């Protein structure tokens, strides 16, 4: 597996930094955000180090698709209400102009009462 020894999220995947695991398989790891912006807020990341979404290559497409497919199931498991009356938000920050702070691709999954609507 491709890891960056200086990457915070690579260290989380390797178990060097503790996290509250939500999900794990051979390619993907999900964990709760340490500074949540919503009642439900977790990150889905590839175990492979990809600095940004634009770093992904065609070979990564199935794994990226699985991240998207996992989001609704994990959101529901973490307490988001399903369906049109419930739901969740997905966010990928890409690059400095996109607000990316940790340069390891991550998908924010946020749900529950919408603090951003106040």
49, 104, 106, 108: which is the annotated catalytic residue? Answer: 106
Residue 74 Cα to chain centre, angstroms: 11
Sheet holding 107-111, edge to edge: 21-24, 28-32, 40-46, 107-111, 88-91
106 counts as catalytic: yes
- Residue 3 Cα distances to 41, 77, 101, angstroms: 24, 28, 18
Please give the positions annotated as active site.
106
């Amino acid at each position: 597996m491709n890891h960056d020894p200086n990457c915070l999220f690579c260290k989380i995947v390797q178990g060097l930094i503790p996290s509250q695991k939500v999900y794990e398989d051979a390619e993907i790891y999900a964990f709760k955000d340490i500074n949540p912006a919503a009642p439900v807020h977790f990150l889905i990341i590839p175990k492979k180090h990809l600095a940004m979404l634009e770093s992904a290559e065609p070979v990564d497409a199935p794994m990226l698709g699985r991240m998207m497919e996992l989001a609704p199931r994990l959101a529901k498991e973490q307490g988001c209400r399903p369906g049109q009356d419930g739901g969740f938000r997905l966010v990928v920050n890409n690059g400095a102009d996109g607000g990316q702070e940790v340069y390891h691709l991550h998908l924010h999954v946020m749900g529950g009462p919408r603090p951003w609507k106040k």
